[in-house]
Amino acid sequence: MVFPAVPAALVLALVAGLGLALGSVKVRGVGLTTAGVLFVGLFLGHLGVSVEPAVLEFARDFGLILFVTSIGLQVGPGFVASLRRSGLKLNLLAASVVLSGVALAAAAHLVLGIELPAVVGILSGATTNTPSLAAAQQALREVAGDASSAALAATLPPLGYAVAYPFGVAGVILAMVSLKLAFRVSTPVEEKLLARSLRSEAPPLHRANLEVTNANLDGLLLEKLPLTDRPGLVVSRVYHDGALLVPVLETKLALGDVLLAVGPRKDLDALRLLVGKESDLDLRSLPTPITSKRLIVTRKEVVGKTLGELDFAARFGVRITRVSRAELEMGAFPGFELRTGDALLAVGGPEDIRKAAKEVGDSPRDLNYPHLVPVFLTIALGVAVGLFPIHLHGMPAPVKLGLAGGPLLVAILLSRVGRIGPLVFWLPISANFMLREIGIALFLAAVGLRSGAGFVETLVKGPGLTWMAVGAVITLVPILVVGAVARAAFRVNFLTLIGVLAGSMTDPPALAFANGLAGSEAPTLGYVSVYPLTMILRIVSAEVLVLLLAR
């Protein structure tokens, strides 16, 4: 039975709602999450529920566009930073998991003869990555040469995904437990080693009151003081001649001055040796009109500018000592580039801080309202880029990024830029999450309803068991091999490693299990470090696999 357009909206809403409810049910902390929408769609499609094909196609494509656009806006600002912060090692390990799975999927097609549409669906299910399923389907539609190929592109990938998905969730957890047993990992020992490593690699910020006793510094301008150009090291207050001041670059030092410095302990110790000695006077305890306040960056005109360009010290007599972004506290330095939502710790007089607050906006209420014009412009430009043909040597036809790759690439680039004129390419985290979940729910509801008619037959009478076995290999082998190499050869801390492995599969249930296994947030840090690169690789590699093997 085919429902008209209006009831189709009702059917899609019910599939999405029931699927998300199913996905929220957890057994031992593991659930289907948004994949529950696909399974409900498959079930109802098996029962014969269907909607107008044009409506399904629109829901599928628009849901995909919303999803990848929100992903790009989320990971774009931190993409380069994650590579710098974690180094290449963790990201290369995660990329190895991704590419190993892609190689195994290609072998399943070339050696075992499994249809390409089924293979890419198995790959997506085995790695629990729905965006790659969407990207693969889009790429398959681009290369489909006839109606039968287009039909297979629409039906087989979701079937392969659904067959491989359950073990894709359980297999990651099984691999983590296996690695823990194989290497006889002691969680308390790993926690101590990790804490020691973090202290050396990313030291926390400290304060020190330093008295100027070095005669060579008498009369020296603060801007000429060595070491103060180090990232994260800031002199926030100066006690001079009985008065407490907020220093500017033109501030002259004198013997007997006391400096309140903020920065990593190693840098503070070096500054102490240069300046003189640590003072018993705590400048924060002195009665003074100088105060500190967190200022939120909400004014679009300052987004993308650096602290050096804004020069708060010279213009307002205010020092920015620290910056918090996404719950991560960082030292302030002149080259630090501001983004919407950054929290700046400003030190100065109340009136001066008010001037600085006006400069950056400091209106948390504005963060509750998403900038929708840039979002729709990002979508439009992304779709246009996705339709643009790219001619590559050796390819039988021009390559297109499609509705998955185009919006993703444009969203990453624009969110990395941050602002163009009056347009701010940023979404509050709640709005981003809502857009993402609605998009993926629409996509999964559409593909589930369309593919449900052949699901049971494929599983029971068709090659379902073979697909399951291939999916299990794609899930287990890359994680076990890369995990063993990372542990044995690179000595990666196990608590970080299991977070990286969960991130390489972009698998939230695996992350939840890893956090429980570790008893700390260390796996989350590993997960977040590799997530941006992994998500992009999952989407792009699925499209490249189709384009290469479709020849």
Select from 266, 269, 286 the least CA-distant residue to 277: 269
* Helix H or strand E encompassing 536: helix 522-549
Question: Which residues have CB under 8 Å from 323's CB, separation 6+?
Answer: 329, 330, 331, 332, 336, 338, 342, 343, 344, 345
Spans in the chain with pLDDT lower than 70: 1-6, 28-32, 75, 77-87, 145, 147, 195-205, 231-232, 249, 326-329, 392-401, 508-509, 512, 515, 519-521, 524-525, 528, 551
Q: How high is the pLDDT of residue 95? A: 94
Q: Are 312 and 356 in contact (CB under 8 A)?
A: yes
Question: Which residues have CB under 8 Å from 489's CB, separation 6+?
Answer: none
d(CA 281, CA 278): 9
d(CA 133, CA 122): 9
Give pTM, 2 decimals. Answer: 0.64
Tokens of 213: 């006793």
d(CA 31, CA 27): 6
Rg (C-alpha) for the chain, rounded Å, is 27
Query: Which letter does DSSP use for residue 468 in this model?
Result: H
CA 347 to chain centre: 31
Tokens of 437: 């979940």
Q: Per DSSP, which regions of 205-327 are E strands?
A: 205-212, 234-240, 243-245, 258-264, 276-278, 291-296, 319-325
Question: Which residues have CB under 8 Å from 179's CB, separation 6+?
Answer: 185, 480, 483, 484, 487, 494, 497, 498
